[in-house]
């Protein structure tokens, strides 16, 4: 099924205009352009907030999670990735969330680290997927 940009924009407007609940957040667990709604296809996706935050969502791909981001403001982390061939990559960044939320987001999920190949003098973008293997928690900046 194709994505309706008009419907995605309608849902985004709804998301931006409504007040979010303090204690619960609806997280989308759908895969963009696969089994999610139009909003998920364009703006959200697995692990990101659903368009419906002001109450319980009827979407079968939504998980209600206790909103504890305010408990941990910012955490510095180092994520270790590995591709299907065994090549590794490491990223150091900071992120909001509890250790459980951060680990759930990165561990065993696939992320695209684009490569560029030289083809007859032209740089050609190629996808290179790595899976999150380990999360190191460096400091709590909050």
Q: Give the CB-side neighbour count of residue 97, counting CA atoms within 13 A.
A: 17
Query: Which residues have a Cβ under 8 Å from the Cβ of 108 and sit 6 or more positions away?
Result: 131, 132
pLDDT averaged over 10-residue windows placed end to end, the chain, 142 residues = 73 73 74 64 65 69 65 79 94 85 90 80 83 86 50
> pLDDT value at position 38?
65
> pLDDT value at position 45?
61
Angle CA 68–90–83, to nearest 5: 105
Q: What are phi and psi of 92, to 5 degrees?
A: -110, 130
> pLDDT value at position 108?
92
> pLDDT value at position 95?
86
């Amino acid at each position: 099924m194709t994505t309706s940009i008009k419907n995605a924009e309608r849902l985004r407007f709804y998301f931006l205009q409504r007040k979010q609940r303090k204690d619960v957040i609806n997280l989308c667990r759908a895969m963009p352009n696969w089994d999610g709604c139009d909003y998920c296809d364009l703006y959200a996706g697995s692990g990101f907030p659903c368009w419906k935050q002001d109450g319980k969502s009827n979407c079968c791909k939504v998980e209600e999670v206790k909103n504890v981001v305010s408990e941990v403001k910012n955490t510095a982390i180092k994520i270790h990735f590995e591709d299907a061939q065994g090549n590794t990559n490491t990223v150091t960044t900071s992120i909001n969330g509890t250790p459980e939320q951060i680990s759930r987001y990165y561990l065993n999920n696939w992320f695209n680290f684009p490569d560029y190949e030289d083809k007859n003098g032209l740089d050609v973008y190629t996808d290179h997927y790595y899976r999150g293997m380990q999360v190191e928690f460096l400091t709590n900046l909050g």
